[in-house]
Structure 1
Amino acid sequence: MNPLQRALIEKVGVDNGFEHTLVADEHDVTLASARHPTRSTISVLDAGFGVRFTSGSAALLPELSRGFPQAIRDQAGFVVGNEAALAALLRRAASLSRVLPTQAATSYRKALDEELSALPPGLAGTEIERMVRQRVGQQKFREAMLEYWGGACAVTGVAVPEVLRASHAKPWAECESDAERLDVFNGFLLTANLDALFDRFLISFDEGGRLVSSPSLAETDLKRLGIVPGLELRWVAPEHQSYLSFHRARFLLSVNQIADCQALASATQ
């Protein structure tokens, strides 16, 4: 690796979420960041660049493999063909590393400590503190979901932040820990209409990510809401499945309750 190649790699790192150079020698360059724990080690190959990631998240490499099918992956890491592909790979790795468990929860606790320290004395354990915790948590969850889904709806691909909502599959109040509440796999980034239906268990997603809707929703209303046959999640990671299973169970319970109410109403007419 010559000095020009080394300088190019360091510049790409700075521009794409890896602003610190830890090691630079004749073989490769190792980059890191103060904003996430992942490190990337980059070498120059005849075919382009070799990139190896060191991360505390087991989900990072599978997510990158899914998002970059054109990159060659083997036990040594990824091989990308040019500078633009290297930049895209590093940028996505940095984004994921800022939100994959447990980074979102860590960011939440830091922001929460700052907010709580600014409150007047005597408010610990009050409704005001609870509201602060929920507000900060929902803000951090939204930020994490925007990062994970690339700022676009998980179903439609709509990329208008003003109409996107961070929807929990397992509701905030029913989560057992902050890590579960802030887990990016516990929900989806959805347009407002999909979020409203998902939040009320009127739609859900099967194991393959295909959208399923409650029989209580009229076909005409579904069309008006832009819900048509064939809608599905842009992708489903293995880590989504337990949360999806929880949501589907509540969805089916809601469907059965509606059916029971309809049957009771018919019987009393």
Structure 2
Amino acid sequence: MIGNKIMMPDKVDTTKQPVVIVNPLQRVLIEKTGHDNGFEYVLPEVSNTAILASARHRTQATVTPLASGFEVRFQSLSSALVPELFRSFEPWAETDGAFRVSTLVDLAALLRRAANLSQALPNQAVQDYQTAVEQALAELPAGSRDTEIERVVRQRVGQDRYRDALLTYWGGACAVTSVAVTEALRASHAKRWAECANDAERLDAFNGFLLVANLDALFDRFLISFDDTGHLLTSPRLSPSDLCGLGIQPGMKLRWLTNGHRRYLQWHRERFLHGS
């Protein structure tokens, strides 16, 4: 990644390469690359690999030196992690779930994206949220904690965490326009916070999109939605002049869309079609 934008890797040779014996210097370089890119712990080595982990998320990365480059495998609580990495690093991905990178710079990019996603995707995001809520509640003045205050704290902390998750997931850029002005971006829920069944739905990075402010306002009021291919849908309540003034152009669509998004979009489209 450069800044907040996800950079697609160059095509690399993914033919099978023999594993080589890792030397002490190479191991130190792998471990430092992990430490600097979201995997600050090293677990006891197994065979000829380095196993990297973190206190900030539950993903582990197993790095194996090859004759040219490295093979990387991830073990994560989130089943969405590897498919999302495949999207950003498709030229490096193998069908068996491994990634093969050529240099330490490439390894750093892959580990950094994996660490960021691991904190944004379901499971870890909920755990981090619950910890943050308890901390926020513990800092309240004695005797001031009641049901309404706790509800407000939970919503404020949750919305902050959700925004952070979407900024990470979408690489700091609008899911439609690719605008990367952070101040103009909003975390838009597809299924509204108050109508989610639990915290897992509220904090699910697939339950919404990072949108520029005008699209967020329209999406929140069900004046726009998206179909199952990601194409933008507009309400008949918006006239051609409205659409022009709001910057809505023909052919606008989401940069990508997963099955994780589609179930929440179905809920949103039902409200969109009913005009409420």
TM norm. shorter chain > 0.5? yes
Q: Aligned pair 1:94/2:134, yes or no?
A: no
**Gap regions ≥5 residues in structure 2:** 1-21
Rounded to whole Å, the distance in 2 between the matches of 1:7 and 1:121 is 49
Native 8 Å contact 1:21 1:31 kept in 2: yes
Give 1:157-196 correspondences, 5 Å limit.
157-196=178-217
Q: Which residue pairs with 1:19 in the alignment?
A: 40
Rounded to whole Å, the distance in 2 between the matches of 1:72 and 1:106 is 29
Report the alpha carbon displacement of residue 76 of structure 1 after superposing the two structures with TM.
Answer: 5.5
Report the alpha carbon displacement of residue 147 of structure 1 after superposing the two structures with TM.
Answer: 1.2
Say if 1:225 and 1:8 are closer, same or farther in 2 by CA, change over 3 A.
same
Q: Which residue pairs with 1:82 in the alignment?
A: 103
Rounded to whole Å, the distance in 1 between the matches of 2:185 and 2:235 is 22
Aligned with residue 106 of structure 1, among 127, 135, 140: 127
Q: Which residue pairs with 1:247 in the alignment?
A: 268
Deviates more, 1:199-208 or 1:147-156: 147-156
Question: Looking at CA atoms only, which structure, 1 or 2, has the larger radius of gyration?
Answer: 1
Rounded to whole Å, the distance in 1 between the matches of 2:127 and 2:47 is 36
Report the alpha carbon displacement of residue 23 of structure 1 after superposing the two structures with TM.
Answer: 2.9
- One-letter amino acid of the structure 1 residue matched with residue 98 of structure 2: G
Question: Which has the higher relative contact order, 1 or 2, with Cα contacts under 8 A spaced 6 or more apart?
Answer: 2
Rounded to whole Å, the distance in 2 between the matches of 1:142 and 1:41 is 30
Say if 1:155 and 1:76 are closer, same or farther in 2 by CA, change over 3 A.
closer
Report the alpha carbon displacement of residue 124 of structure 1 after superposing the two structures with TM.
Answer: 4.0
- One-letter amino acid of the structure 1 residue matched with residue 112 of structure 2: R
Deviates more, 1:220-229 or 1:86-95: 220-229
Q: Which residue pairs with 2:4 in the alignment?
A: none
Aligned with residue 161 of structure 2, among 125, 129, 140: 140
Q: Which residue pairs with 2:75 in the alignment?
A: 54
Report the alpha carbon displacement of residue 193 of structure 1 after superposing the two structures with TM.
Answer: 0.5
Rounded to whole Å, the distance in 2 between the matches of 1:236 and 1:47 is 34
Q: Which residue pairs with 1:216 in the alignment?
A: 237
SS at match of 1:140: helix
Q: Which residue pairs with 1:29 in the alignment?
A: 50
Report the alpha carbon displacement of residue 47 of structure 1 after superposing the two structures with TM.
Answer: 3.6
Rounded to whole Å, the distance in 2 between the matches of 1:76 and 1:147 is 22
Deviations 1:14-62 (A, max 9, x none): 1111111113466111100110000001011124110011111111111
SS at match of 2:86: helix
Rounded to whole Å, the distance in 2 between the matches of 1:145 and 1:76 is 24
- One-letter amino acid of the structure 2 residue matched with residue 250 of structure 1: R
Deviations 1:79-119 (A, max 9, x none): 11222221111111101101111111111111111111222
Rounded to whole Å, the distance in 1 between the matches of 2:144 and 2:261 is 36
Native 8 Å contact 2:77 2:123 kept in 1: no
Native 8 Å contact 1:13 1:90 kept in 2: yes
Q: Which has the higher helix share?
A: 1
TM-score under structure 2 length normalisation: 0.88
Report the alpha carbon displacement of residue 123 of structure 1 after superposing the two structures with TM.
Answer: 4.0
Native 8 Å contact 1:6 1:24 kept in 2: no
Native 8 Å contact 2:51 2:63 kept in 1: yes
Native 8 Å contact 2:82 2:97 kept in 1: no
- One-letter amino acid of the structure 1 residue matched with residue 181 of structure 2: V
Q: Which residue pairs with 1:130 in the alignment?
A: 151
Give 1:222-241 correspondences, 5 Å limit.
222-241=243-262
Report the alpha carbon displacement of residue 244 of structure 1 after superposing the two structures with TM.
Answer: 0.6
Rounded to whole Å, the distance in 2 between the matches of 1:51 and 1:172 is 37
Rounded to whole Å, the distance in 2 between the matches of 1:68 and 1:225 is 34
Q: Aligned pair 1:4/2:4, yes or no?
A: no
Question: Considering only aligned residues, what root-mean-square deviation do their CA atoms show, in Å?
Answer: 1.5
- One-letter amino acid of the structure 2 residue matched with residue 41 of structure 1: T
Rounded to whole Å, the distance in 2 between the matches of 1:174 and 1:123 is 27
Q: Which residue pairs with 1:262 in the alignment?
A: none
- One-letter amino acid of the structure 2 residue matched with residue 105 of structure 1: V
**Gap regions ≥5 residues in structure 1:** 258-269
Native 8 Å contact 2:225 2:232 kept in 1: yes
